[in-house]
Amino acid sequence: MPWRRLAIIAFIIGPILALLAFGFTRDARYITSPLIAKFATPFTITLFDGRKLTLDDLRGKAVFLNFWASWCPPCRAEARDLEAAWQKLKDKNMVFLGIALQDTDQNALEFLKEFNVTYLNGKDEAGKIAVDYGTWGIPESFFIDPQGRITYKHVGAIRAALVMAKLEEAAKGIVSAQEGRGDYQPIR
């Protein structure tokens, strides 16, 4: 039995197979954001009530920025949590802003009505805001500190407790080391 040859074969093929097996342990679609600890890109958004809002208007407050769409199941799953978190935090120096992506006005407004959402919401008309923030799966949530820097990003549905915890950190200017993950829907 040519053991040496078999050993050489195993030594070459083995690591390749192990590498492929490693592939199962990670999510191939996940893209780490380079925006954490950087200044949030300014944008102007038209809110559903007709007003125009820019990111600069929110300077001095901690901002919870949430990208969503009415056709995305994880967004539906987190909607009540977000509204609950807002109710608890609305008297503090914090702002919740929701941005609807790739959605129609009618569907978006129906979504907001269904979940009794009271915080500010607008629509990303040209898709430019989503591109600037590198959204690749919704819902995506960004936490911005009062100076305008992104302290935390969470891809996927987020629970109320985490929202409140991360916003407290953002208010203090603490940048998170790692991104968070939840259930998400990739966008096309």
Partner 1 sequence: MIAALGHTSILLAFLAALVGIASPLIAARFEPERFRAVARYSIFGQFALVTLAAAALIYGLIATDFSIKYVAFNTTRATPIYYRVTGLWGALEGSLLLWEWILIIFAGIVAWVYRKRHHEMMPWVVMIFSIVSAFFLGVIGFLSNPFETVSPIPLDGRGLNPLLEDANMMTHPPLLYTGFVGLTVPFAFAMAALIVGKVDEAWITTTRRWTIIAWFFLTAGNLVGAWWSYHVLGWGGYWAWDPVENAAFMPWLPATAFLHSVQVQERRRMLKVWNLSLIIVAFSLTIFGTFLTRSGIISSIHAFSSGPVGGFFLGFLAFVLLGSFGLLAYRADMLKEQPELDSMVSRESALLLNNIVLVSALFTIFLGTIFPLLSEAVAGVQVSVGAPYFNSVTVPLFLFLVFLMGVGPIIAWRRASWDNLKRSFLCPAIAALLLGLGLFAWKIRDFLPILGFTLMAFVAFTIIYDTALALRARKRIAGEGIIRGLVTLTRRNQRRYGGFIVHLGVVLIMMGIAGSMSYSLEKEATLALKQNLQIGNYRIQFEGLKGSQQPTHFRVEGAFRVIHNGNDEGIMSPALKFFPIQQSPVGRAVHQSSLGEDIYLILSGFSELDRNQATLKVLVRPLVIWMWIGGFVIAFGTLICILPMKTTQLSDT
DSSP labels, 99-133:
EE-S--HHHHHHHHHHTT--SEEEE-SSSHHHHHT
Cα–Cα distance between 168 and 52 in angstroms, integer? 27
Task: Annotate each residue in 67-96 with x if it binds partner 1 (CB under 8 A) or - if it does not, as one string.
Answer: --x-x-------------------------
What's the closest the beta carbon of residue 109 comes to partner 1, in angstroms? 17
Cα–Cα distance between 153 and 180 in angstroms, integer? 6
Nearer to partner 1, 8 or 174 (CB): 8
What's the closest the beta carbon of residue 50 comes to partner 1, in angstroms? 17
Tell whether residue 9 is a contact of partner 1 (CB under 8 A): yes
What's the closest the beta carbon of residue 8 comes to partner 1, in angstroms? 8
What's the closest the beta carbon of residue 102 comes to partner 1, in angstroms? 5
Nearer to partner 1, 113 or 188 (CB): 188
Task: Give the total of residues touching partner 1 (CB under 8 A).
Answer: 26
Identified binder of partner 1 from the candidate list 102, 109, 115, 175, rule CB under 8 A: 102
**What number of residues does the chain have?**
188
Beta strand 137-138 pairing with 185-186: antiparallel
Tell whether residue 44 is a contact of partner 1 (CB under 8 A): no
Residues 121-140 that bind partner 1 (CB under 8 A): none
Tell whether residue 28 is a contact of partner 1 (CB under 8 A): yes
**Residue 65: helix, strand or coil by DSSP?**
strand
What's the closest the beta carbon of residue 14 comes to partner 1, in angstroms? 9
Residue whose pair of structure tokens reads 């080391």 in the numeric block: 177
The residue ranges that bind partner 1 (CB under 8 A) are 1-2, 5-6, 9-10, 13, 16-17, 19-24, 26, 28-32, 69, 71, 102, 187-188
